[in-house]
Amino acid sequence: MERHFSETASAKRRLPAEYRHFTLIELLIVIAIIAILAAMLLPALNRARDRAHSTKCVANLKTYTMSGLTYANDSNDYLVPADPTNVTVCIWYRNAAFRRLLGDCPGPLWFGATQVDSSNDRAGNPGLLCPALAANAAGRQGPYYSNSYGMTHEEIPVSGWNYQGLPGVAAYKLSRIIGPSQRLMFIDSADPTTDKRWSTLNYWTLNRRNVAYRHGNFTNVGLMDGHVESRGWQDVAVDHLWFGFYTANLAD
């Protein structure tokens, strides 16, 4: 039997190339090698994709924060209102002036061209939405402005410095903010406005609402001075990021 096998293998090697064939064992070995390589490469590819999403998200939030600063410069130093109760002044993602600064203001408009029409209020330019949300939006609505990024509205009604002379309209007065590089303007969020109480990683994991840790358990944060940081939840759930914008207390 051994002699027969040896002769058969030797004869096979002497065959012209066009008559040689892979054996089943050889095919299985090739398939196993491909599977091992794929298992090794896929995590690296996923990490590279996630880094690309986070980088694009940081660039988006930079656009949002700089647009917010420009809006304030044009609006007596008031930031775009986060969520006003006055019907003629709208939430930030429907504010036509702010959307123009973002470079995306579809028509038609309402209330003297101050608000984006309800048919276009949430849908927008995909390039201005968090790409990690777009990649994971299967089975849910969106992506929209209203579930891509959110503004803080903590303490907006507290201080008279916030009011703009209109009932039901309050927004942060930027020139009075102390330590703007430590104060939140926009953040990855599943809701258009968000609060500190919903900023933990556990809350996001269980509810998929408010502060969104879409980037490897990190979230991107746009600050009141215009710069953007990537933070874990321990560095997001700190009081000075959310409260006391007009005080010098930056400790928790």
What is the rounded CA–CA span in Å between residue 126 and residue 124? 6
Tell me the domain boundaries of the chain. 50-242
The tens place of each residue's pLDDT in the chain, 252 residues long, gives 444 444 555 555 555 555 566 688 888 888 888 888 887 777 777 777 788 889 999 999 999 999 999 999 998 899 998 877 766 678 888 888 898 899 887 666 665 567 776 666 566 678 898 988 865 554 456 678 888 999 988 877 776 677 766 666 788 989 899 999 999 999 999 888 888 888 888 888 877 778 999 998 899 999 999 999 999 999 999 999 998 888 877 766
Contact 222, 185 (CB under 8 A): yes
Q: The tokens of 52 are what?
A: 């690309």
Q: Do 154 and 242 meet the contact criterion of CB atoms below 8 Å apart? A: yes
Find out whether 229 and 61 touch, Cβ atoms under 8 Å. no
> What's the confidence (pLDDT) of residue 139?
46
HSE of 121 in the Cβ direction (CA atoms, 13 Å)? 16
Q: How confident is the model at residue 234, as a pLDDT?
A: 93
Residues in the chain: 252
- Contacts of residues 99-106 at CB distance under 8 Å and 24 or more positions apart, as own/partner, are 99/124, 101/67, 101/70, 101/71, 102/63, 102/64, 102/67, 102/128, 103/63, 103/128, 104/128
